[in-house]
Amino acid sequence: MSETKPDATLDVRGLFCPIPIVKLSEAIKNYPTGTVLEVLATDPGTLTDIPAWAKTSGNQVLKTEREGTVIKFHVKKVK
Amino acid sequence: MSEEKKKVLIVCSKGTLDMAYPPFMIATTAAAMGWDVHLYFTFWGMDIVTKGKSDKLKLASVGNPSLPMPNILGMLPGMTAMATKMIKGKMKKSNMPSIPEMIKTAKDLGVKFHACTPTMQLTGLTKEDLIPEVDDLIGAATFVDLSKEATVTLFV
């Protein structure tokens, strides 16, 4: 199992729908294709929202992990 | 993705604080997901984009059985203001953006704002009475034309 190290982190802990998705879509614009962005969230809605956003926007969720109340995603910019 | 751009059209027909949120939540999210988003403000929904009202939308205390008090009290003076203050306090606590913030975010994401001309005629509003974020004034025919290739059309 190869572990991809994230290139940057986006912290949206304590923020609720729709802000995590809005911030993620804005943040990812600043990075080149292939960048892996780590997203830290606490809104349980992000568990399905971030994969749904990735699917529609053509990006990729590499990993979803829960650490207590924090949900950690690794999102790869594909396009 | 090679598929053509998806489009969502939302009719905003209500001017209360609670009914102003759902269109903006969907609009900002859909725009963040790369969709083309159009909001069509009509009837009381025009309050959302009217100067002096846009930032002062209220929660209805009358006919709102969801409030934690006997419904009959909703008609007492000051109850609308109280209910509005209560919900705004709760929203602030959970880091929920205000409606003016939602408008700004939506605009930054490229959401299009359309105002309904028949409503303006009815209420005597002019373009100058509306917030500058409104892109244009359109009637039902333009709306129908916009909706013909929309993936999703919602009425709120």
Residues of B in contact with A17 (CB under 8 A): 25, 29
**Distance from chain centroid for Cα B61:** 19
CB contact under 8 A, A22 and B25: no
**Complex prediction ipTM:** 0.75
CA distance A52 to chain B (A): 9
**Which residue has better confidence, A60 or B140?**
A60
Token pair in block for residue A37: 């962005």
Nearest to A10 by CA among A22, A23, A2: A23
CB contact under 8 A, B29 and A21: yes
Answer whether A32 touches B (CB < 8 Å).
no
pLDDT score for B2: 42
Residue B129 is classified by DSSP as G
Mean pLDDT of A16-38: 93
pLDDT score for A54: 93
Answer whether A54 touches B (CB < 8 Å).
no
Token pair in block for residue B144: 């129908």
Separation between Cα atoms, residue B41 and residue B119, nearest integer Å: 9
pTM attached to this predicted model: 0.84
Separation between Cα atoms, residue B42 and residue A36, nearest integer Å: 43
| Nearest-by-CA chain B residue for A49 | B29
> Tens digits of per-residue pLDDT, B79-128?
899 889 988 998 888 888 999 999 999 999 999 999 998 899 889 999 99
**Is residue A64 annotated as part of the catalytic site, yes or no?**
no
